[in-house]
A and B are shown apart, each in its own frame.
Chain A
Amino acid sequence: AQKITQTQPGMFVQEKEAVTLDCTYDTSDPSYGLFWYKQPSSGEMIFLIYQGSYDQQNATEGRYSLNFQKARKSANLVISASQLGDSAMYFCAMASGQNFVFGPGTRLSVLP
């Protein structure tokens, strides 16, 4: 069965510092996609970044980068130069076949 694990319920980071949010996944499908979403207190889910299982390079989108280690089945999100507006819940998700699964999330708090 497909599963996403996020072992950090909460994280703190100082403004302007970088932070890494952990995500490990489990699937037997050779083809899958990994996503990160941000959910601020207002509730909307905002897409951040995508990594395909066959992509050779790590994905980057502005201040977001995904550290993809396929053999270890990990897809950690790195946020550089944290901003106060980055404070939110962050969810790692996987699309595999017809299945779509989200992790439990990590609450990131950026300190001034």
Chain B
Amino acid sequence: DTGVSQNPRHKITKRGQNVTFRCDPISEHNRLYWYRQTLGQGPEFLTYFQNEAQLEKSRLLSDRFSAERPKGSFSTLEIQRTEQGDSAMYLCASSSTGTERDEQFFGPGTRLTVL
């Protein structure tokens, strides 16, 4: 296990379609985060899991977005009825509560384009 992986790397979809992204964290990490990043901006926090529990969800996250981490390992992020404004890079990161600094390791991201 060399790092956080995300699939797919790129996704093009038509407005109104549903999309699902997957994130596989570093195996010993119990925390998992989802971020959204638009061009020229910093990552924007979406949600956060510790093991299988979703502990925090951004108020900016609409009801069309849902995330799961059913067994405390991989996570999925689903966007329903996509809109053009959802076009962005979706980043996943993981960390371990066993470290003092809770450093987050990021995956390569999934770039979503909504036509």
| Chain B, 31-84, CB within 8 A of any chain A CB | 33, 35, 40-45, 48, 55-56
CB distance from B54 to the nearest CB of A (A): 11
Closest to B99 in A: A50
> A105 is contacted by which of B42, B44, B100, B101 (Cβ under 8 Å)?
B42
Q: A44-B108, A100-B33 are in contact. Are A50 and B103 (CB under 8 A)?
A: yes
Tier of interface size on chain B: 20 to 34
Count of A interface residues, CB-CB < 8 Å: 22
Q: Which of B40, B55, B103 contacts A35 (CB 8 A)?
A: B103
Chain B residue contacts of A104, Cβ below 8 A: 41-42
Q: Which residues of A contact B (CB under 8 A)?
A: 4, 33, 35, 37, 43-47, 50, 52, 91, 93, 95, 98-105
17 other A-B residue contacts (CB within 8 Å) besides A45-B91, A45-B93: A35-B101, A35-B104, A37-B106, A43-B109, A44-B106, A47-B103, A47-B104, A50-B103, A52-B101, A95-B102, A98-B48, A98-B56, A100-B48, A102-B35, A102-B42, A104-B41, A105-B42
